[in-house]
Amino acid sequence: MNARPPGGAARALALVLLVAALAWAAILFGAVRQQPGWEGWVSGLFGGGFMALLIAAAGAWGVLFTLRRANRPAAGPPQLFLAEGELAQVLAELEEVRERTKQQIHAGALWRIPVCVVGVIALWVLGQTGDDPPDVFDLILFMGGAVLAGYAWAAWALSEAYRRLYKARVLPKIAADFGALTWRHAQPPLDEYRRHRLFPDWDSAHAEDEIHGEYRGLPLSIIELKLIRGSGKNRRTVFNGLAAAVTLPRGLSGTTVVVPDKGMFGNLAERMRGGPCQPVRLEDPVFEKAYEVYASDQISARALLTPAFMARFMALAESGRFGAPAALIQDNRLIMALAATHGRNLFEPPSYRKPAAGREALTQLHDDIEAVLRAADAVIDLDQAARLQPR
């Protein structure tokens, strides 16, 4: 066994000692500044020395802990996903990228953390010249924050790059297991959503993932979408869920919008806004009460919204799988907005700290795609089953 610590660890220990010395000097400066004379020197020397010892001990423990953890044999074999073919190759490549990312983050953290800590010490010293100088406990608090900030600074960009790469490489392969489907960075038609008021007004939209391709013989696109209104304390989520678009094998024309009922005044305001779509009065009183329908072509709207379609639409809303759905139909393209009943983000890849081929993460991604395809099934069945029912 090598008796000397590796180069990186030796540098880290040296930096820890340097930071401890700086903290000592800073506290001494602060003490003398607040209590000029021998009392300030004594309390600064002892208090600063104690703090420097604490920092050195904690830092040394941190370095040794990291070192031992890196060299420690695994308690058991990691739970890996037994991939085959292209996916196995992709996962092997990603594992290499992950190792490289981890090393780059550690290397970056080695100088970014001390820089942040030194910066905080400098600020603390600067604060001693003010009217309300911060005390030693503030310094401890700031230094803890600086360690976290330094690590985040080192990790943020690299872990994001790894996360994006993982999604771009792995998700298309998993999606392909379900048929002619793939994954891509989402391109939601936000202008269409806004123009037809499919959702309540929003200020910012977040859409990262889209599963698209052909499913059950129909062109399909499912986007995970989050719409936010306001900012700061007034920030609220107006929609969080899936926007599933299917091109139906129909001869529909024009635009039809189905949105949850907004009450008497809300509906009136909606009608006052005008536009090419006129209200559609449907025969089903329960549906009429729960939803408002606007269409540019009254006949085409009713060709889709058959009594069976309406019954199925309401059954979908009452199933508890999604919140109250809304729909936008443009010619043959049906877009359903299905609000999620859970708060979890879908399609989240594993962290760079976990193996690329981790079974749990890959199973979760597989399950996520399966879940959105169940939503697609619900949308496709909405039309197909409705067409088998009496008109």
Partner 1 sequence: MNLVVLIAIGVVVVALYVWYATIVTRRNKVAEALSGIDVQLSQRHELIPNILAIAKRFLAHEQGLLADIARLRTTGQERIGATDPAAIAEKFAAENQLSAGLGRLFAVAEGYPELKSDAVMVRAQATYQEVETNVAAARRFYNASVTDLRNACQIFPGQLVAALAGVGQLPPFFEAPAEHRGAVNAADHL
286 binds partner 1 (CB under 8 A): no
Question: For residue 340, what are the β-bridge partners?
Answer: 322
Binding mask 342-371 for partner 1 (x = CB under 8 A): ------------------------------
Report the residue number, 190 or 311, with the smaller CB distance to partner 1. 311
Pick from 128, 298, 351, 364: which binds partner 1 (CB under 8 A)?
Answer: 298
What is the DSSP-derived secondary structure letter of residue 234? Answer: G
Ranges of H-type helices in 177-246? 190-195
On the 0-12 / 13-18 / 19+ scale of CB atoms within 10 A, 9 is middle
Which structure tokens are listed for 51? 């703090």
Find the shortest distance in angstroms from Cβ 150 to partner 1: 55
148 binds partner 1 (CB under 8 A): no
User: Could you count the other beta carbons within 10 Å of the beta carbon of residue 270?
Assistant: 18
285 binds partner 1 (CB under 8 A): no
CA nearest 101: which of 167, 160, 147, 168? Answer: 160
User: Could you count the other beta carbons within 10 Å of the beta carbon of residue 209?
Assistant: 22
Question: For residue 244, what are the β-bridge partners?
Answer: 222, 336
Pick from 57, 70, 180, 385: which binds partner 1 (CB under 8 A)?
Answer: 385
Find the shortest distance in angstroms from Cβ 319 to partner 1: 7
Find the shortest distance in angstroms from Cβ 316 to partner 1: 8
Report the residue number, 187 or 389, with the smaller CB distance to partner 1. 389
User: Applying CB under 8 A, which part among 184-192, 238-246, 303-311, 358-366 lies near partner 1?
Assistant: 303-311
Find the shortest distance in angstroms from Cβ 254 to partner 1: 12
302 binds partner 1 (CB under 8 A): yes
State which H helix or E strand residue 184 sits in. Answer: strand 181-185
Distance CA 251, CA 269 (A): 32
Which structure tokens are listed for 65? 């802990």
Pick from 299, 341, 363, 367: which binds partner 1 (CB under 8 A)?
Answer: 299
User: Applying CB under 8 A, which part among 100-108, 202-210, 279-287, 322-330 lies near partner 1?
Assistant: 279-287
159 binds partner 1 (CB under 8 A): no
Residues 383 and 309: beta-carbon distance below 8 Å? yes
Report the residue number, 68 or 281, with the smaller CB distance to partner 1. 281
CA nearest 383: which of 333, 321, 323, 319? Answer: 333
Q: Is 294 helix (H, G, I), strand (E, B) or coil?
A: strand
301 binds partner 1 (CB under 8 A): yes
State which H helix or E strand residue 292 sits in. Answer: strand 291-295
Pick from 159, 240, 255, 300: which binds partner 1 (CB under 8 A)?
Answer: 300
Pick from 68, 72, 281, 289: which binds partner 1 (CB under 8 A)?
Answer: 281
User: Could you count the other beta carbons within 10 Å of the beta carbon of residue 233?
Assistant: 6
Distance CA 22, CA 116 (A): 13
What is the DSSP-derived secondary structure letter of residue 140? Answer: H
Contacts of 65 (CB under 8 A, 6+ apart): none
Find the shortest distance in angstroms from Cβ 250 to partner 1: 7
307 binds partner 1 (CB under 8 A): yes
Interface with partner 1: number of residues (CB under 8 A): 25
Instruction: Measure the CA dihedral 366/177/333/293, to 10°.
Output: -30
319 binds partner 1 (CB under 8 A): yes
Find the shortest distance in angstroms from Cβ 328 to partner 1: 18
Pick from 308, 321, 332, 377: which binds partner 1 (CB under 8 A)?
Answer: 308
283 binds partner 1 (CB under 8 A): yes
What is the DSSP-derived secondary structure letter of residue 115? Answer: H
Report the residue number, 227 or 248, with the smaller CB distance to partner 1. 248
Find the shortest distance in angstroms from Cβ 262 to partner 1: 22
Chain positions 222 to 251 lying near partner 1, rule: CB under 8 A, are 250-251
387 binds partner 1 (CB under 8 A): yes
Residues 337 and 198: beta-carbon distance below 8 Å? yes
Q: Which residues bind partner 1 (CB under 8 A)?
A: 250-251, 281-283, 298-303, 306-308, 311-312, 314-316, 319, 385, 387, 389-391
